[in-house]
Amino acid sequence: MKKRNFILRAVIAFLVIATGCSDDYLNREPEGRFSEGDVATPEGVEGLLIATYTMVPGGGLTGQTWHNDIHNWVFNIASDDALKGTDAGDQPEQSFIEAYDFQAFNVHIRDKWRGLYKGVAGANNVINTLALVEEGITDERRAQIVAEARFLRGLFHFEARKMWRMPVYISEENFVLNDLESTKIPNDREIWPLIEADFEAAAAVLPDTQGDVGRPTSWAAKAFLAKAKMYQGWDDNGVANTAKLGEAKIILDDIIDNGPFQLVDKFEDNFLVATRNNAESIFEVQYAINSATGDAANRGIGLAHPYTDPWGCCGFYQVSQNLVNAYQTENGLPLLETFDDTDVSPDTNADGSSVVTTTLDPRVDHTVGRPGILYKGFKIYQTDFVRDLSYAGPWFSMKHVAEPEAFGQGGWQNLSANNYRIMRLSMIYLWLAEAEVELGNLERARELVNAIRSRAANPEGFVPNAIQGVERNDFTIEEGTPAANYDIATYDDPWTDQDLARQAVRFETRLEFAMEGHRFFDLQRWGVSAEVLNAYIASESQHRAYLQGRSFTAGKHEFFPIPLEAIDRSALDGQPTLTQDPAY
């Protein structure tokens, strides 16, 4: 209790500092501020570090939460997995993103920049303030604090590098808390090496295990280092950088062979409050909620809940027909080339059950709200979950939604403590499979993909069939009876064709991580965005009329424009230090 009270006081102290400043921590003159000396104590530094962790979810900016949410759902609506959802008039800034009309004045893009660089500022402030503390901290703890801060700084910059082609990297040397001009430096260099250096430094110091849940381990730092290398694994034309993928492979092999992680038995255990921080988890964004407060809950994805009771808001982040179609199988395997030729139907029989009898990958019903199928234990999903059926269609997202046992504990009904598994072992498996394909080790890639598919095939993890009761919210579960005709098999024939192996691995990545905020950026790093997304628009626009006439421009829409606000406020001597992406 004593430790908990200290943490609370430390966070409040930091928030007094932070909220005395404007939203843009890097570029606006603070209205009221503390000197470094005011918090240059062991307790103050620990409080600053904890407060920097609070920026990871992305809700630490006054006046907005979802723009900068760590799930990146606002930006994943530009992928083939997701639609904005809700209705046409709600959050028009998101409609522009969905339609590939990326503008430098879009407030969602602006606030993503603001939030990430506020996190960077927090990490740098920890390092600089720690240097002023002469007593009261052991050398070991001092090194740990720096390592944690560098991990967080690497994470914030990583998120920025996914968003923008040439973001700026801010180090502790560029950051002076009370000097507004200190961070006005040009974005004239590739920042991947600097991101890697942060994760490498963190991995060298952080322990293999942590006593406090939510703090990164050396394994987490290694995993993000490998992820950074995977993001450099292909050029803009999709040509593999085998040297960089080889570097990633060394780390990924180490995590699988020597790390303390294992795949959990059931796929759904990666999306439940009850199974947070499980054996598969490498790093999770921690959320908390109780009857008194939901301030630390997953507020940033609160809008992305069904429009019906018990949530009642707000219908954002619906699922595309294209993604639902991807879960169709034949002889237990995905239809790599033809999955979108036939639509999975949203229709139901007279008793409310789904009309679909074709075979499906069982992960579909842990990913998509589908008419006639039990939705995460609440009730049988029907199209009343959707705000405007004619606008964004019949399907809805669900991985981030808490199960009934963890629902409604405080404040807004959509808030929960359902952690975001931003790094888990299944990602390591499939990144290694990607690398192995490009390095020519096709059979090893097949083995890794089959491990993921074998877990998905565990019948104990299948969604059970549910029979609708008299009242809308009533249902009866048929124990031992699956909700659909699930059929998933492993790849049993040897992989000898590199192109086919690559396609299978990437398809598996989509099925495993759909609607978790990664798809847009996966297409970006593979160098295939234009090809995939223009084909998607041609198909999906047959269902969603508002997508007709839209297109993805190669060489431009892979990244977002740097916000005009950031460029304007970067000026020194009347000239901006930040340069806009030439594509914009």
The per-residue pLDDT for 28 is 38
Residue 26: predicted pLDDT: 37
pLDDT over 90, % of the chain: 89
The whole-number pLDDT of residue 400 equals 98
Assign 63 a pLDDT band (cuts: 50, 70, 90): low
Tens-digit pLDDT profile for residues 457-494: 999 999 999 999 999 999 999 999 999 999 999 999 99
Number of H helices, E strands in the chain: 17, 14
Instruction: Let me know: does 429 contact 452? Beta carbons within 8 Å.
Output: yes
**pLDDT per residue as tens digits for the range 387-440:** 999 999 999 999 999 999 998 776 788 999 999 999 999 999 999 999 999 999
pLDDT band at 246; cut points 50, 70, 90: very high
Q: What residue type is 116 in one-letter code? A: L
Backbone φ, ψ for residue 282 (5° rounding): -105, -40
User: Rounded CA gap, 249 and 230, in Å?
Assistant: 9
pLDDT at 20 over 70: no
Angle at alpha carbon of residue 385, lines to 380 and 389, rounded to 5°: 125
Q: Are 316 and 84 in contact (CB under 8 A)?
A: yes
Higher model confidence: residue 255 or residue 12? Answer: 255
**Cβ contacts of 36-39, under 8 Å, gap ≥ 24:** 36/125, 36/128, 36/129, 36/132, 36/177, 36/178, 37/132, 39/13, 39/14, 39/129
Distance between CA atoms of residues 313 and 494, nearest Å: 48
22-47 pLDDT, tens digit per residue, is 333 333 333 334 455 679 999 999 99
Core vs surface per residue 291-330: b (16+ CB within 10 A) or e: eeebebbbbbbbbbbbbbeebebbbbbbbbbbbbbbbbbe
Amino acid 13: pLDDT: 38
Q: How far apart are CA 251 and CA 229, in angstroms?
A: 10
The confidence band for 380, taking pLDDT boundaries of 50, 70 and 90, is: very high
3-state secondary structure of 478: strand
Q: How many CB atoms lie within 10 A of CB 522?
A: 21
pLDDT (tens digit, 9 = 90+) per residue, 321-365? 999 999 999 999 999 999 999 999 999 999 999 999 999 999 999
pLDDT, tens digit (0-9, with 9 covering 90-100), for 101-155: 999 999 999 999 999 999 999 999 999 999 999 999 999 999 999 999 999 999 9
- The overall average pLDDT reported for the chain is 93
Distance, CA of 282 to CA of 173 (rounded, Å): 30
What average pLDDT score do residues 157-185 get?
Answer: 96
Q: Mean pLDDT across the stretch 561-579? A: 97
- Of the candidates 195, 133, 130, which has an alpha carbon nearest to the alpha carbon of residue 161? 195
Per-residue pLDDT at 1 exceeds 60 = no
3-state secondary structure 307-357: CCCCCCCCCEEEECHHHHHHCEEECCEECCCCCCCCCCCCCECCCCCECCC
Average pLDDT, stretch 156-185? 96
Q: Which domains does the chain have, with CATH numbers?
A: 35-77+84-206+553-583 (1.25.40.390), 299-547 (1.25.40.390)
The tens digit of pLDDT for each residue in 207-234 reads 999 999 999 999 999 999 999 999 999 9
Q: How many percent of the chain have pLDDT more than 70?
A: 92
Asked whether residue 568 carries a pLDDT value surpassing 60, the answer given is: yes
DSSP 3-46: HHHHHHHHHHHHHHHHHTS-S-TTTS--SS---GGGG-SHHHHH
CB of 553 closer than 8 Å to CB of 531: no
